Amino acid sequence: MAQRGEAETLPLHPALSRVSSSSSRARAAAAVRPGPDPLLVICRCFSFVTSLTAILCVAVNVLSAVRSFKDGSDVFDGIFRCYAVVIAFIVVVAETEWGFVIKFWKILEYWAGRGMLQIFVAVMTRAFPDYSSNQKELVVLQNIASYMLLACGLVYVISGILCIGFLKRARQKKEITREQAVKDLELGHHFVEVMA
């Protein structure tokens, strides 16, 4: 019986207490999970742009190689373009940050090394342009692809010198740890709920 000024509380049905505890867990999980890290979002967007630019370099170099071999006029340019395609493909794979690739090419984990590789591919794409009248579109595409990848490479080198890559890796580890802790908490609450 409630005393004067106190509200009388009735015990909740067990199913209702589970619902209220699951909604409180959802609120707690929402409080634990802050929004995505802005630095990581910017890095992912920049990596996506760099990948697209490297894919454009692959396409331009493939077109140049095909034209060189088709005409038979400059086989060495065709071979050079094939090397550019392979190295540009390595740039695309490096942007995925696939653990298998990073494990064998440690230099690609560091932004300064990755940026230098991108600058090298940009220079290879820009080298030996054919300014003949029938290939002006290809030369324009070569210029666009090479200067875009050159800009991405410069940003990577400067960011690497400023240790932004190290900061990004540290924040990625923190985000992964946080996500794993939230999953472990949710699994623990689910286990307690099942046992109850």
Q: Please, are residues 125 and 152 in contact by the beta-carbon 8 Å criterion?
A: no
Q: Above 80 in pLDDT, residue 141?
A: yes
Tell me what the pLDDT averaged over the chain comes to. 81
Q: Please, are residues 122 and 147 in contact by the beta-carbon 8 Å criterion?
A: yes
Q: Which of 31-35, 89-93, 173-177 has the lowest mean pLDDT?
A: 31-35
3-state secondary structure of 12: coil
Averaged pLDDT, 31-41: 75
Specify the amino acid at residue 42: I
Specify the amino acid at residue 154: L
